[in-house]
Amino acid sequence: MRAMIRTIISAGHRTILTQSCRYRSKDTHPTVVRALQNKVALVTGSTSGIGLEVATVLARNGANILLNGFCDPKEIENIQVRLKRKYEVDVNYIGGDLTKRIDVNTLCQKVDSLCPGGVDILINNAGFQHVSRIEDFPLEKWDELLAILLTAPFLLTRHFIARLKEKGWGRVINIASMHGLRASPNKAAYVSAKHGVLGLTKVIALETAGSGITCNAVCPGYVDTPIYRKQLERKALDEGCDLETAKRKFLQPVHPTLEVITSEQVAELVLFLCSRAADQMTGSVLTMDGGWSAR
Report whether 219 contacts 285 (CB < 8 A). yes
Report whether 36 contacts 57 (CB < 8 A). no
Q: Is 93 a catalytic residue?
A: no
- Stretch (H or E) spanning 66: strand 64-67
Rg (CA), the chain: 21
Calpha distance 104→165 (Å, rounded): 21
Report whether 232 contacts 244 (CB < 8 A). no
Report whether 128 contacts 190 (CB < 8 A). no
Residue 46 Cα to chain centre, angstroms: 8
Calpha distance 48→36 (Å, rounded): 22
Write the single-letter amino acid at 74. Answer: K
Report whether 90 contacts 84 (CB < 8 A). yes
| Active-site pick, 23, 93, 190, 228 | 190
Q: What is the DSSP string of 138-162?
A: -HHHHHHHHIIIIIHHHHHHHHHHH
Q: Which residues contact 69 (CB under 8 A, 6 or more apart)?
A: 44, 45, 46, 47, 48, 51, 95, 126
Half-sphere exposure of 231 (CA within 13 A, CB side): 16
Q: Which residues contact 213 (CB under 8 A, 6 or more apart)?
A: 161, 164, 165, 169, 170, 171, 172, 282
DSSP-based three-state secondary structure for 233 = helix
- Positions marked active-site: 190
